[in-house]
């Protein structure tokens, strides 16, 4: 019997069916080891030795694998076919070697690009050794990310309170978003006019032609810059006679795009389906690992982390055959199409993303897939088959027209396109982002019959005023596209990069556009001012290229780290001499449009409008940055630093309370104000005045008298509980909206519930809270972020965000997510495993957890590791971590 190790239980289940009784397939559940999240896990002074740690959950899985290997004939490592997959195999093998359970048993590494029976069996027939250069590239990347994070973060904490490093690649992605925002802020709109004429042919057909020249002068787009010019040209056209100078019909061809890569799949899923990058990868992972199709579990798409654009030869043949069967022989090109990538630094180590079988059409598998899975599979199938279809044949017609007004002449042009043969468009059409021209071959519409030299009748002349617009904010799709163009990051990192920026509140996503938060702007400005090199696009791309060369065996990974660390550590040391005033001066200049928004009256935005003499500047406090007056404490003006430089910022800049009316009960004036911690409403004046901060999601512009009165009336008494006779009240607290009864709290879903919930529902919410576990006086269970489905034993499984991070909940069982696991990436299979592991630790009557099973396992794991020497050596190394000079200096910084 051979032991096969894969990452996920879903993958293990599928492969087990393919291999039969001679194999035992076990899941590692991703990485089994990681660098401890503390200083000293990578030691530059010891030639970048890395101290790995196995957490308790992984220790149990490793024990299961080790126990199985003891009684096996050999070990087969079958993790994913990329750098991370290779690293997982290396970690598993290294731990097993230290546990001395392998002996002389053979160890093989197999990879497959699709989870189908034929692909898996073919991989088993062609094993190899672990790819050492690929592991080296993983180690280098992991060490680089760790060194940047754990050495740059202390600098940020010290010089910029409330900020954290976004990470090596994330910082550069954040800079892209912030640079675009700064570009939008600097943008000066310009006026321009479009002039066109609606004309009629002798046959009575109307069409529109646009002005392209006047009196011998060519007029490029936006050449007409003001109303006076437009009026003169319009007068010329109003009195002109029109004649067709030429009609040119030119046939063109449009070729299909290649099959999907990771980034193009994320872009298309965003544009066409509205999926986030992380959602796309979650759904793709499920399609790759396997779906139950009529009793057989089979992977529907190939591996989804790739920058390759070429399909395997057998897949190309299958696609061409499917094209002939589904669309007809004319849609099959004479030769198979071959593609090569244009992306910078693309490795093309794997196939493009494609269906594992083109015979499985979306219609055939529809009943086995949930709506999101079907949408994504449909996208992959159509793009894959379109990539091997004939070109679309398009006829593009250009008509040149002369307008003559008493010798004053102008030229007009009309264009139109007609699809003569749809070709690949019959299966798939691209959809562009941000208002780019669509790819449907008919962007100019059709023209009626027009003949050269014939006269045309003028129907109407149009002169329309326009203003240039700033560049659009990035969407997830367009940011991924830009990162790929610049060579920043890799296919497997895009979704995680965006998730990190969002989780750390450096960006928000509004209507699918990425908007940098003030905190993100501050971090970027600081890094650009004092760590310029490390957020440069070319520097990051060059470093990615070096990592690729390591994976190809062309560079030594330790030397790459030495070169990087030498300059980076020197830069860290230099920041020790930085004074906070230096930092603030630099940020004031770099972020001037954000910190000092223009005022409607044209006055200097840097002069305090309260005292009239003080200068406004960024200030740093315990909770981050804010704007304050230089005359403090005589002038106590403060304003929250906001990414919104519109009317709210202008109003806040004046620091003048906005009157909302009188309180109907006390007669005191209610005002809307802005303070250091954001906008709030206040009733009356003085120290005893009642105040209430605006809840999350409420903007100053949305606050009226009614809302202000409601906020200031909190907490709100709802009524007496029918059983206890004690009052139930609703309010807003640090953790959001809540109910309070007899000293116990229960969370409400929305802020609106605080003002609208009635007694009956309040009693139900409190009863639900009490039924969900002991500690009835504790704060209620946080609202569910998402529901994964029902547990096999009944009851919903939900994902929630608690005080100590995200977790999955089933009834009374709460299981914390593994470190680094994003809440929105949890699958049902992963949740079931976490719940099963946690089930042995359900609370006893006294409220304390029973954990005999875990304690026993942990002890056994410790004992096992102690025998191998791993635990014994790790302890002194961890102690030594504080000793090396470089680590100590970085910690000091």
d(CA 246, CA 260): 42
In the numeric block, the tokens 């299909």 are attached to: 256
Dihedral angle of Cα 466, 470, 473, 477, to the nearest 10 degrees: 70
Q: Which of 838, 835, 807 is nearest to 822 (CA)?
A: 807
User: How many other CB atoms are found less than 10 A from the CB of residue 842?
Assistant: 14
The residue annotated as part of the active site, out of 138, 192, 242, 303, is 303
Query: Which token pair is 577?
Result: 């001499």
Query: Which token pair is 860?
Result: 């056994």
d(CA 9, CA 829): 7
Active site residue 303: yes
Query: Which token pair is 566?
Result: 């030498």
Q: Which of 531, 535, 561 is nearest to 546 (CA)?
A: 561
Rg (CA), the chain: 33
Instruction: DSSP for 208-241, please give it.
Output: EEEEEEETTEE--TT---SHHHHHHHHHHHHT-E
What three-state secondary structure class fits 218? strand
Q: Report the phi/psi class of residue 511: left, alpha or beta, with left for phi > 0 and alpha for psi in -120 to 50.
A: left
Q: Which of 230, 248, 252 is nearest to 401 (CA)?
A: 248
d(CA 48, CA 207): 71
Residues 6 or more apart from 166 whose CB is under 8 A from it?
173, 174, 500, 501, 504, 506, 520, 523
In the numeric block, the tokens 């060059």 are attached to: 542
Q: Which of 23, 112, 99 is nearest to 61 (CA)?
A: 99
Does a cis peptide bond (omega within 30 degrees of 0) precede residue 715? Answer: yes
User: How many other CB atoms are found less than 10 A from the CB of residue 539?
Assistant: 13
CB 136 within 8 A of CB 550: yes
Does a cis peptide bond (omega within 30 degrees of 0) precede residue 633? Answer: yes
Q: Which of 722, 762, 723 is nearest to 739 (CA)?
A: 762
CB 624 within 8 A of CB 591: no
Query: Which token pair is 375?
Result: 């949408």
Q: CA dist 161 to 444, 529, 550, 636, 637, Å?
A: 54, 17, 37, 21, 20
Which helix (H) or strand (E) segment holds residue 355: the answer is none
What three-state secondary structure class fits 639? strand
Q: Residues with catalytic annotation?
A: 303
């Amino acid at each position: 019997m051979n032991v096969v190790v894969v990452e996920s239980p879903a993958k293990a289940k599928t492969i087990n069916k393919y291999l039969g009784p001679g194999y035992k397939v076990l899941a590692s559940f991703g990485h089994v080891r990681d660098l401890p999240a503390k200083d000293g896990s990578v030691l530059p002074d010891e030639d970048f030795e890395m101290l790995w740690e196995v957490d308790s959950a992984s220790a149990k899985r490793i024990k299961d694998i080790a126990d199985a290997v003891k009684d096996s004939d050999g070990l087969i490592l079958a993790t994913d076919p990329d750098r991370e997959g290779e690293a997982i195999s290396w970690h598993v093998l290294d731990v097993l070697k230290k546990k001395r359970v392998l002996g002389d048993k053979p160890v093989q590494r197999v990879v497959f690009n699709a989870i189908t029976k034929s692909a898996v069996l073919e991989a088993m027939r062609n094993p190899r050794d672990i790819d050492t250069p690929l592991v080296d590239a993983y180690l280098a990347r992991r060490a680089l990310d760790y060194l940047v994070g754990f050495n740059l973060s202390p600098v940020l904490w010290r010089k910029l309170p409330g900020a954290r490093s976004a990470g090596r690649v994330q910082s550069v992605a954040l800079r892209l978003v912030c640079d675009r925002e700064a570009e939008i802020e600097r943008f000066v709109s310009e006026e321009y006019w479009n002039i066109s004429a609606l004309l009629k042919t002798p046959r009575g057909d109307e069409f529109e032609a646009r002005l392209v020249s006047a009196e011998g002068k060519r007029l490029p787009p936006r050449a007409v810059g003001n109303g006076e010019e437009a009026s003169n040209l319009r007068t010329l056209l109003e009195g002109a006679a029109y004649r067709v100078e030429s009609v040119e019909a030119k046939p063109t061809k449009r070729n299909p795009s290649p099959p999907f890569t990771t980034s193009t799949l994320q872009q298309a899923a965003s544009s066409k389906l509205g999926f986030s990058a992380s959602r796309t990868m979650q759904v793709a992972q499920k399609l790759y690992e396997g779906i139950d199709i009529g009793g057989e579990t089979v992977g529907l798409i190939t591996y989804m982390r790739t920058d390759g654009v070429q399909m395997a030869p057998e897949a190309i043949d299958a696609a061409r055959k499917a094209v002939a069967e589904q669309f007809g022989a004319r849609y099959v090109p004479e030769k198979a199409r071959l593609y090569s990538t244009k992306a910078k630094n693309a490795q093309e180590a794997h196939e493009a993303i494609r269906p594992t079988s083109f015979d499985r059409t979306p219609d055939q598998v529809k009943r086995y897939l949930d709506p999101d899975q079907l949408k994504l599979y449909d996208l992959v199938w159509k793009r894959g088959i379109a990539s091997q279809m004939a070109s679309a044949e398009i006829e593009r017609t250009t008509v040149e027209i002369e307008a003559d007004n008493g010798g004053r002449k102008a030229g007009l042009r009309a264009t139109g396109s007609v699809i003569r043969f749809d070709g690949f468009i019959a299966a798939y059409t691209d959809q562009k982002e941000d208002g780019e021209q669509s790819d449907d071959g008919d962007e100019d519409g059709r023209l009626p019959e027009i003949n050269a030299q014939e006269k045309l009748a003028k129907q109407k002349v149009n002169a329309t005023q326009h203003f240039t617009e700033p560049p659009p904010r990035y969407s997830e799709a367009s940011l991924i596209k830009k990162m790929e163009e610049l060579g920043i990051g890799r296919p497997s990192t895009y979704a995680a990069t965006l998730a990190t920026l969002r989780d750390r509140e450096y960006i928000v996503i509004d209507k699918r556009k990425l908007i940098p938060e003030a905190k993100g702007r501050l971090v970027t400005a600081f890094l650009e001012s004092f760590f310029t090199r490390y957020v440069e696009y070319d520097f990051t791309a060059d470093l990615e290229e070096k990592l690729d060369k390591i994976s190809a065996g062309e560079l030594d990974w330790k030397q790459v780290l030495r070169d990087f660390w030498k300059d980076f550590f020197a830069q860290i040391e230099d920041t020790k001499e930085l004074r906070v005033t230096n930092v603030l001066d630099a940020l004031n200049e770099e972020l001037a449009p954000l910190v000092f928004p223009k005022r409607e009256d044209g006055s200097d935005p840097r002069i305090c409008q309260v005292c009239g003499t003080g200068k406004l500047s960024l200030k740093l406090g315990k909770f981050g940055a804010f704007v304050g007056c230089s005359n403090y404490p005589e002038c106590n003006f403060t304003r929250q630093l906001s990414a919104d430089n519109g009317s709210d910022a202008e109003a806040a800049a004046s620091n003048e309370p906005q009157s909302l009316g009188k309180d109907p009960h006390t007669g005191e004036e209610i005002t809307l104000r802005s303070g250091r911690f954001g906008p709030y409403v206040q009733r009356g004046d003085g120290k005893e005045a009642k105040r209430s901060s605006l809840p999350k999601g409420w903007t100053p512009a949305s606050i009226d008298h009614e809302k202000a009165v409601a906020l200031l009336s909190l907490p709100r008494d709802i009524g007496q509980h029918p059983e206890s006779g004690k009052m139930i009240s609703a309010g807003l607290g640090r953790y959001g909206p809540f109910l309070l009864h007899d000293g116990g709290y229960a969370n409400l879903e929305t802020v609106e519930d605080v003002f609208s919930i009635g007694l009956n529902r309040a009693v139900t919410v409190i009863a639900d809270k009490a039924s969900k576990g002991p500690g009835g006086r504790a704060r209620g269970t946080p609202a569910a972020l998402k529901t994964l489905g029902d547990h096999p034993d009944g009851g919903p499984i939900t994902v929630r965000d608690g005080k100590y991070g995200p977790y999955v909940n089933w009834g009374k069982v709460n299981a914390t997510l593994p470190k680094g696991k994003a809440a929105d990436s949890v699958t049902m299979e992963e949740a079931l495993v976490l719940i099963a592991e946690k089930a042995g630790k359900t609370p006893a009557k006294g409220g304390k957890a029973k954990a005999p099973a875990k304690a026993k396992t942990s002890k056994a794991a410790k004992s096992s590791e102690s025998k191998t020497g791993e635990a014994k050596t790790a302890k002194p190394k961890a102690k030594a971590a504080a000793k090396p000079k470089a680590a100590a200096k970085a910690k000091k910084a």
